[in-house]
DNA sequence: AATAGGATCTCCT
DNA sequence: GGAGATCCTATTG
């Protein structure tokens, strides 16, 4: 049984479906990574999404092919890593359970024990660069392996947004440490 | 434990 | 000019 490419395995999923599917997946970026334990979905007609007002230079890759990266600069300082779903839709990767390349990630994080808990920390630990915007998850530099069986999910409202705060579009892996924040409830 | 300020990019009004 | 899908450090209760 040949593996289907990642882009074909997620074809047709909207951001919410992809955000749920990515929990428990293994993300590797140039030899560093781990298990995805926290994601958020951002939709096309979603006031909290960068795509809400249509394409700009920054968000162009959100309107590009599904299964590629959308990397943007946050608050002028940090980078954040997303996986593009349908047109204008993406999934923000907010936390990993580190597994591979831990020493490399520790050195990039300058000894902080919080390696990959939070989108900015995760991007720094993985060595994400702004030039990675638009890169495919095809095994060249970026790869994602989806989990065999669906894990138990935590669901809650998204973090750090001021609009559409009621949507339960944040997802987490149940029973783990390392989430960027606890889930309510 | 909680709060406040700084870093300084991209888009919007 | 101001806000934002953030994080770190310092200071206060």
* Domain annotation for chain A: domains and CATH numbers: 6-173 (3.10.300.10)
Query: Taken in order A31, A160, A147, A184, is the CA torsion positive or negative?
Result: positive
**pLDDT reading at A2 higher than 80:** no
Strand partners, A171: A39, A155
pLDDT tens for A95-125 read: 999 999 999 999 999 989 999 999 999 999 9
> CA–CA separation, A169 vs A4, rounded Å?
27
H/E element, A108: helix A102-108
Nearest nucleotide by C1' position to the A78 CA atom: C6
Any strand C atom closer than 7 Å to A47 CB: no
Any strand C atom closer than 7 Å to A27 CB: no
- Residues 6 or more apart whose Cβ sits within 8 Å of residue A131: none
Query: Could you say which nucleotides of strand C lie within 7 A of any protein CB atom?
Result: 3-8
Residue A94 backbone phi and psi in degrees, to 5: -100, -25
Any strand B atom closer than 7 Å to A49 CB: no
Any strand C atom closer than 7 Å to A42 CB: yes
> CA–CA separation, A30 vs A105, rounded Å?
11
Any strand B atom closer than 7 Å to A181 CB: no
H/E element, A18: helix A15-22
Per the structure, the residue whose CA is closest to nucleotide B12 at C1' is A53
pLDDT tens for A133-153 read: 999 999 999 999 999 999 999
Query: Could you say which nucleotides of strand B lie within 7 A of any protein CB atom?
Result: 7-13
């Amino acid at each position: 049984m040949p593996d289907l490419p990642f882009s074909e395995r997620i074809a047709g999923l909207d951001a919410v479906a992809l955000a749920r599917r990515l929990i428990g997946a293994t993300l590797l970026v140039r030899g560093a990574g781990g298990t995805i334990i926290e994601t958020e979905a951002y939709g096309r007609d979603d006031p909290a999404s960068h795509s809400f007002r249509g394409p700009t230079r920054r968000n162009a890759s959100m309107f590009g092919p599904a299964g590629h990266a959308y990397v943007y600069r946050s608050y002028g300082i940090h980078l954040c890593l997303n996986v593009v779903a349908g047109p204008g839709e993406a999934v923000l990767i907010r936390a990993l359970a580190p597994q591979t390349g831990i020493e490399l990630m520790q050195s990039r994080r300058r000894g902080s024990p919080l390696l990959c808990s939070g989108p900015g920390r995760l991007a720094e630990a993985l060595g994400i660069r702004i030039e990675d915007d638009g890169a495919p998850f095809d095994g060249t530099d970026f790869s994602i392996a989806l989990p065999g069986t669906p894990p138990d999910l935590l669901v809650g409202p998204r973090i750090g947004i001021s609009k559409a705060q009621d949507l339960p579009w944040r997802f987490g892996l149940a029973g783990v440490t390392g989430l960027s924040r606890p889930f309510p409830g």
